[in-house]
Structure 1
């Protein structure tokens, strides 16, 4: 089979105008899709950070309830240490004694996630210690906001 014959003087293909219109439409679609895609990625990272923070707090609470050092209700049964680095480090400690657990827990939040505690952004390198008593309760209720890519992606965590 052969290709159909074209009328004389007619060349098969696209004109420059057709190509430019097609490229303009593609660029316009990409320009609107890129911000939404970036925002979706930032939102996913803040949700991941929220889950990791809640998991860390749950582990600290479980350790405080186990109370391996026999801390009284006034003393520290366990604590969650948050080191503001890039990325943010989370670690569970037992400050009341020299108890060492072979399964100590630590984690890192996703990179570039901003940590805001009670409406204050801590300085880089600072350590925040959330202390729990032997009932697994914090000495002070605290509100944490995790942010990445703008306030539209904020995730709030209330620890009490």
Structure 2
């Protein structure tokens, strides 16, 4: 007599293989989301540094050598993640650039769920960290910065060095 359908064993093996593939796909999908968010946050941080450096080189408020011509600020907002701000530094008493433009010059919200370590330490909620850039495009005080963007495990960490 010919078999007309699947046996219980064949059905169980098929369901087990499908469940395994589904679990594997969900795990890899979550890791992919974490990796893409850390890369997006790194891109936003690099763009903020570039905008601040360009603004500092333009030096619209005529700051002197050794003073910050632009400031990049990273804020950790309570319950709302991280925000980046780029502002021109007040140089002369009558800076037309600041009076004619909105403050900040540029801003961005980092993707939800990322954590940023500044020089190895996490930025606590409500805190902010600022980097000044002089009119030659160099960090004020020549300290630079080391940042690590984290989300979902060490395999997704993005490291940034600014000098």
Q: Which residue of 2 aligns with 1:16?
A: 8
Q: Deviations over 1:48-107 (max 9, x none)?
A: 111111001100000000000000012220101110123210011123255143592110
Do the aligned partners of 1:75 and 1:96 also contact (CA within 8 Å) in 2? no
Unmatched segments (≥5 aa) in structure 1: 1-6
Deviating more after overlay: 45-54 vs 24-33: 24-33
> Which structure features the higher share of helix residues?
2
Correspondence list, 1:11-160, <5 A:
12-85=4-77, 86-97=80-91, 99=98, 100-102=100-102, 104-139=105-140, 140-160=143-163
Unmatched segments (≥5 aa) in structure 2: none
Report the Cα distance in structure 2 between the residues aligned to 1:87 and 1:69, rounded to whole angstroms.
31
> Which structure features the higher share of strand residues?
2
Do the aligned partners of 2:81 and 2:113 also contact (CA within 8 Å) in 1? yes
RMSD: 1.8
Do the aligned partners of 2:56 and 2:69 also contact (CA within 8 Å) in 1? yes
Deviating more after overlay: 84-93 vs 95-104: 95-104
Normalised by the size of structure 1, how large is the TM-score? 0.87
Q: How many residues align?
A: 152
Report which of the two structures shows the higher radius of gyration computed on alpha carbons.
1
Deviating more after overlay: 144-153 vs 86-95: 86-95
Deviating more after overlay: 94-103 vs 84-93: 94-103
